[in-house]
Every structure is written in C-alpha cells, then in structure tokens.
A = this chain, B = another copy of it.
C-alpha cells in the first residue's frame, strides 16, 4: 500500500518510532508480531491477545494452505473473519515452511514441488501461487516468495539462491500488482467508516520484498538494492537466525538497513530473544516476529526481568512469588511460580496458555518500552 508508513522520529543510533497504517489497524512501531501459525497464536485466545496489546499477528501460508485451505478461507471472507481477529495480520510466503517442513522438495526456476508433511499429498508452489494464496487469505501484509538460504552456505550456493529469490521477487510483485484488488475484503474497505484509511486511499494489501544473500555482505547489499529498485511496500531481511553467531546476524542487519528507503517499513524475520528484539529495534528495525515466546513457553521457559526461568525446576515447587516480580501481566498478577510449575509438571493444558501469555506480555512490554525511548521525548507511546 502506498504511504503505509508514518516515520515519527529517528534517533541518532538509527532507531525509528513510526506507525504502520494498514487496512485493519494502525500499528505502532517498532512492533513485535506474535506468530499464529494455523490461525491461532498457540494456546492463547484472541481476546487475551487483544488485552496484551498485540496489534498485528502472523499467519503461516504453508500451514493455512494445507489446513483448512486458502479457498475455504477466501469463501469465508478472509483470515481476519475466519479467526475473528479484527486487528492487523501478516502472512509469510510459505517458502520457509516448504523448505523446512515439506518432504521431497524439487526446486526449479519455476517454483517448488513438494509433498505435504501431513499426508504426503503433492503440491507445487510458484511465486504467483504464493501470492494468490496470500491474497485469498487477505492478511494486511503479504511477503514475496523467496528461498531462505541455509547456514552455512558456500558463496556459489548463496549466489544461486539469491538469483532465484530476486527472480521470484519480481514475479511476486508483478502478480501481486495484477491481482491485489481481489482480496476478499477489498470492496468492504472502500466504504467509510469501516476503513480508518485516509479518504481516497486504496485499501489493498501491502507486499514486502525479502533481502537474502546468506552471510555475504555484498550479496546482501546487492539484494537490498535490487529490491528497492522494484519498489515494494516494505522490506524484510530474511535468512537470519538460521544458526549463525549473533554478531553475524547483527552485521547483516547493519549492512542492509542504510540501503532501505527511510519511508518504508523494515522487518527482520524470525528473531529472536528478548535482548535481540530490543537491540534490533534500537538499530532501526520496525517489525519482528518469532515463535520463541510461545514455543519456549510450552516447554516451560519463561522470559523475565530476572532472566530466563525454567519453571519446571524443583526449586519453584513452593515458590509463591509471581513468575516475574517486575511484570504486570494477568499471569504475574494472579499466579505463582509454584502453580505454574505444578501445571507444567502435571501436563495440564493451562500451563501452555499461562506461560505463553506471560512470555508474550514480556515481549510486547519490551517493545512498548523501546517505542517510548525512541519517541524523542514526545507524547508518542
């Protein structure tokens, strides 16, 4: 979408306080986006996500394409309606899961043939098909179809992968431009007061390009420059947090950010730990997502102001303190470490729910604090 980003303030270190203006929501940035793989942020009801202040969540195109299917979701009015999430959403391209989950992949310039990890059924994803699926799902932001370069990768492999990703970016963009008005809610959002967009704005989805290039600085630069030439609605940095040392992650981000246009949102995909998301936000990253807060929660790992806490530990058996004494979330206000340990130890479903709620509150709280710091002393929050 044109003019989808208001840059409100930039710090000397490059940190940006902004607003992402999307059809379903104006999202305050920098923002952390909880991951809702199959149309649910695992174990957390939508009203709780709202009360935690989540403004935008992810859906996974690969998973939703397989179950319940993008055509079914299109017929039901799109993903927002299907899962009852009125705020903003973003879908990935499906590429990452095709490469990490599916079986018997065969990659050609045309696209990727693969078998479903669920039932072995055969599928073929091309950039055009990924965009079609994402338009049917109707998230506010779509992603170009890319290949996530593995780590480590030889230079020749990274070059070849980048060549593919750049060609697919071009095809993704062309197909998106030709079909973006087919999103299920397009007509509905033309009518005020449904839309909070400026009068005359085109209430379409946004499409982001994805910078790849492995851990090669010059390939990353080349990737960024070519995508910017294509003129996407926003730019993601992909292929990070794939096993490389953290210094390298930061180096790649630092290399790419200055090449991206200041008036477009910047999204680092799939990161990270609490200190990472804070660091990258202060460097000028506007958007991040990660399964870590919810996945770790289901394994009993809580992120707190006192560090990581493995709630399974015997030492918490009679600990009547809150999970995080500095946290004001609904879990820390009500429940004790002893109770959370008991739930985990007993395999109770409530364990995943409560742990996830706290971890999400912790992540969202970090970003709230960072936004305040980045606002330049103004009234922004």
Contacts and interface: CB of A to CB of B under 8 A. Distances in A.
A227 interface: no
Interface string A29-41: 0000000001110
Nearest to A41: B350
Nearest to A345: B67
A348 interface: yes
A40 B354 CA distance: 12
B354 A45 contact: yes
Interface in A64-86: 67-68, 72, 75-76, 81-84
A40 B348 contact: yes
Nearest to A84: B334
Contacts of A353: 43, 45, 349, 353
Interface stretch (A94-102, A169-177, A245-253, A335-343): A335-343
A67 B346 CA distance: 7
A190 B143 CA distance: 63
A318 B75 contact: yes
A76 B320 contact: yes
B42 A338 contact: no
Contact of A42 (B83, B318, B350): B350
Given A43-B350, A354-B45, A68 B38 contact: no
A167 interface: no
Contacts of A320: 76, 81
Contacts of A335: 84
A46 interface: yes
Interface of A: 38-40, 42-47, 67-68, 72, 75-76, 81-84, 317-318, 320, 330, 334-336, 338-339, 342-343, 345-346, 348-350, 352-354
A353 B339 CA distance: 19
Nearest to A342: B68
19 contacts: A38-B342, A38-B348, A39-B339, A39-B342, A42-B348, A43-B348, A44-B350, A45-B353, A45-B354, A47-B334, A67-B342, A72-B338, A75-B318, A76-B320, A76-B338, A82-B338, A84-B339, A349-B349, A349-B352
Contacts of A82: 336, 338-339, 342
B346 A42 contact: no
Contacts of A334: 46-47, 84
Q: What are the 7 tightest A-B residue pairs by CB atom distance, in nearest-first order?
A: A43-B349, A40-B350, A38-B346, A68-B342, A84-B334, A40-B348, A67-B346
Contact of A318 (B39, B46, B72, B354): B72
A75 to B, nearest CB: 6
Nearest to A118: B346
A330 B47 contact: yes
A76 B336 CA distance: 10
A43 B39 CA distance: 19
Nearest to A72: B318
A42 to B, nearest CB: 6
Given A76-B338, A349-B353, 15 more contacts: A38-B343, A42-B349, A43-B350, A43-B353, A45-B350, A46-B334, A47-B330, A67-B342, A67-B345, A68-B317, A68-B338, A72-B317, A76-B336, A82-B342, A353-B353
A83 B349 CA distance: 14
Contacts of A43: 348-350, 353
